[in-house]
Amino acid sequence: MRKPSLETLVAQLDGEQLLSDLETLGQVGLRPEGGLARMAYGAADLEARQWVLAEMEALGMSATMDAAGNVIGVLAGDPALPALAAGSHTDSVPGGGKYDGALGVLAALACVRTLQAAGHRLRHPLLVVDFAGEEATTAASPTGSLSFVGQLQEHVLDQPAWTGQSTRRLLEEQGFEPTAMAANHPPMPIAAFLELHIEQGEQLDVADIPAGLVEGIVGIRRYLVTFQGQANHAGTTGMARRRDALVAAAPFVTAVRDVAMDHRIVGTVGRLAVHPGAPNVIPGRVEMDVEIRALDNAVLDRAERELAERARAAGATFFHGLRNEPVHADRRLMAALELACQQLNVRYTKMPSGAGHDAMNMAAICPFAMIFVPSVGGISHAPEEYTRPDHCVTGARLLLAALLELDSTLDA
């Protein structure tokens, strides 16, 4: 009996079942006022993971929950070959939408369902992973994927989680052992990881392009910029004599915007702390958190130098904080995604991801690539988050086509 062609097999992916799964999972943790409350390691989050685990088992996969709460399903292949892997996460931010993360997990399960229904056995084992704690609701996020690749630092668990208690306490109350989480590792070698995700921005939606192939995940640099003035009485100190730290800081807020636009990156002043913070006291000190993001380190370097120079020229101190390096997608995997788009006649564009994803951590142990599908209006992390049904199904079919291509071409 002849095996079905790639196009025939991909066309068999059950889009209606995928959409039904999104609706079903979207009821877990749904708030009366709208939006999800599946925060990491909370009751609704764990309920969703158990649902995913049961679905994996129903598809004939060997399914487990590892030491960090990652739900891992294995579809058997040649044990001598490293696995292909796909997935994302099902936890949410407070008031989040039903597509962020969940689409990537459920689309991977839709791929397995298609393979099983067609009797098509991959050469490589296939891992489907629902990573725990991807959203920044604990001190250690993305907790599950950091643990999965052996990069979870146990000491950060002492910082607060969304509950107000330490992340360590939250984990222990749910039966997780932090030391075991830090010593976690994948169940088998992995040759490639693919993640389907909604864009969470407006580029694809505005351009009416069904798919974005992610060239990499941007680097993030953060700075603490401090302006020192002189606190004094707001009613008795003349305007000419004031050393108002907020007045000095104000032009730097727009400078961050201007530098970002000049270098074609994004820049944000996300926090201003005005001291002493009273309506009848002239601000004596202002601290601001500044962040820039880009895929190119050289561009980040230039923007950073300019910001530092402007801060010092304004009399401020410029402290270097967080520095996450850009992570670039694998060229072979990108080629497989491009071929999938061509085979399925799907228009696409190449683009960076401005947000972090589990894929950036997977890059520590294997090549990765990502597929984006449009978010209507660029809205995400909100109850109004929406991705059209046809785009959800298109993303799943591209994922399956790429997995089939990689299965036939990768040997290690």
pLDDT tens, residue by residue, 82-125 = 999 999 999 999 999 999 999 999 999 999 999 999 999 999 99
- Mean pLDDT over 145-173 rounds to 93
Q: Where are the beta strands (DSSP E) in 113-157?
A: 126-131
- Mean pLDDT over 357-386 rounds to 96
pLDDT given at position 356: 86
User: What domains appear along the chain, each with residue ranges and CATH number?
Assistant: 6-217+326-409 (3.40.630.10), 219-324 (3.30.70.360)
- Which helix (H) or strand (E) element contains residue 240? none
- pLDDT band, very low/low/confident/very high, at 4 (cuts 50, 70, 90): confident
Q: Are 256 and 307 in contact (CB under 8 A)?
A: yes
pLDDT digits (tens, 9 = 90+) for 27-58: 999 999 999 999 999 999 999 999 999 999 99
Residue 64 has pLDDT above 80, yes or no: yes
- Classified as helix, coil or strand, 199 is coil
Question: What number of other Cβ atoms are within 10 A of residue 266's Cβ?
Answer: 16
Residue 203 has pLDDT above 90, yes or no: yes
Q: Are 126 and 403 in contact (CB under 8 A)?
A: yes
Q: Where are the beta strands (DSSP E) in 51-114?
A: 62-65, 71-75, 83-89
Residue 160 has pLDDT above 70, yes or no: yes
pLDDT digits (tens, 9 = 90+) for 303-328: 999 999 999 999 999 999 988 899 99
Locate 58 and state its tokens.
Answer: 């129903």
Place of tokens 């409350």: 37
DSSP per position, 152-182: --GGGGGSB-TTSSBHHHHHHHTT--HHHHH
Residue 375 has pLDDT above 70, yes or no: yes
pLDDT given at position 355: 87
pLDDT digits (tens, 9 = 90+) for 247-284: 999 999 999 999 999 999 999 999 999 999 999 999 99
- Mean pLDDT over 292-297 rounds to 95
